[in-house]
Amino acid sequence: MIFDFSNYDQLLPLVTNSLIVGALLAVVGGLVGVFVINRDMSFAVHGISELSFAGASITLLIGGDVVFGSVIGSLIASLIIGVMGAKAKERNSITAVLMPFGLGLGILALSLYQGRASNKFGLLTGQIVAIDEPQLVSISIISAIVIAALLIIWRPLTFASLDVEVASARGVPTRTLSIVFMLLLGLSVAASIQVVGALLVLSLLVTPAAAAVRVSSSPFVIPVLSVIFAGVSVVGGILLALGSSLPVSPYVTSISFLIYLICRGVEWVKNR
């Protein structure tokens, strides 16, 4: 039996931390995702997440803080992709080179690791009750930084994403902005991995925003919808996973995919 909600009230307190973190990550993922779509960086997100996974695995092996490890891995990857892959064409090949390297490094570290197997698996595919107090604090801080910084640079970053030539003529520091955005993206990936895992980060950082741009063209409605979609996916996924023996990520990814399909459908009906 997949679902068993009989002792739900006793299970719920176990995932309170995850729910809080999930809601925060939904805001982060929903907002960052708008620019991931906007700047055509979906593939880069995947690349960053593999290096983030490597960082997390290595710290798990040497007994350090996993969130710290994934942040370091993420930031290194985003800086490399941001600096060396300023042009879209180069970015894809650099990402493709980094990605298997990161994944391989992570798998190496995990196979040397002697601890609990669920820790290993969780980094790749997500985990539901694994968020402890220190992690809650560090993910909250990361989320607050990303959200605040994004709101501050939102408009210049939109301008730079629309037309880098015109924006820089107007004095917008486009190069700095693109590096800052890569760092924020790295932080978002590192935080998201703790819940949905490295392989499924895209479902949080790309799918909700990709769904939102299907049904709206307003620069205010798109981020709001994107955050709502991400929130429904993560929080809904955690609540569903609680009543089952399966990990959290299939639920998150399925809900987020379903929302995307519905938005495609709505768009199709509107354009008919």
Partner 1 sequence: MSKPLLEIENATLEIDGRVLWQNLNLEIQPNEFIAVLGANGSGKTSLLKAVLGQLPLRSGSIRLNSKKIRRGSRRIGYVPQHRQPETTMPLRGKDLLWLGLNGHRFGFWIPGSKARAQFDHIVEAIDGQELIKRKISGMSGGELQRLRVGQAVIDEPDLILADEPLSALDYNQQAAVAELLGRESREHGAAVLFVTHDVNPILGMVDRVLYLAEGSFRIGTPDEVLTSETLSELYGTTIDVVRNQGRILVLGAHDDHDHHHEEVWK
Answer yes or no whether residue 169 interacts with partner 1 by CB under 8 A: yes
* Residue closer to partner 1, measured from CB, 13 or 171: 171
Contact 21, 131 (CB under 8 A): yes
Instruction: Output the CA–CA distances (angstroms, integers) from residue 250 to 39, 44, 115, 197, in the order listed.
Output: 27, 22, 24, 11
Query: Segment near partner 1 (CB under 8 A), from 21-29, 65-73, 163-171, 247-255?
Result: 163-171
The interface mask with partner 1, positions 103-142, x = CB under 8 A, is ----------------------------------------
Answer yes or no whether residue 164 interacts with partner 1 by CB under 8 A: yes
Closest CA to 62 of 101, 109, 130: 109
Query: Segment near partner 1 (CB under 8 A), from 1-9, 20-28, 152-160, 188-196?
Result: 152-160
Could you give the CA distance from residue 1 to residue 147 in angstroms, rounded to a whole number? Answer: 40
Answer yes or no whether residue 147 interacts with partner 1 by CB under 8 A: no
Could you give the CA distance from residue 82 to residue 37 in angstroms, rounded to a whole number? Answer: 16
Answer yes or no whether residue 163 interacts with partner 1 by CB under 8 A: yes
Burial state string for 246-257 with b = 16 or more CB within 10 A and e = fewer than 16: ebbbbbbbebbe
Pick the binder of partner 1 from 86, 112, 141, 162 (CB under 8 A): 162
* Residue closer to partner 1, measured from CB, 140 or 158: 158
Angle between helices 174-196 and 42-62 (to 10 degrees): 60
Answer yes or no whether residue 12 interacts with partner 1 by CB under 8 A: no
Answer yes or no whether residue 90 interacts with partner 1 by CB under 8 A: no
**Shortest distance in whole angstroms from residue 74 CB to partner 1:** 24
End-to-end CA distance of the chain: 42
**DSSP 8-state symbol, 4:** -
* Residue closer to partner 1, measured from CB, 19 or 175: 175
Q: Which of the residues 198 through 237 are near partner 1 (CB under 8 A)?
A: 213, 216-219, 222
**Shortest distance in whole angstroms from residue 194 CB to partner 1:** 29
* DSSP-assigned states of every residue in 52-90: HHHHHHHHHHHT--HHHHHHHHHHHHHHHHHHHT-SHHH
Contacts to partner 1 by CB under 8 A: 34, 37-40, 151-153, 155-156, 158-159, 161-173, 213, 216-219, 222
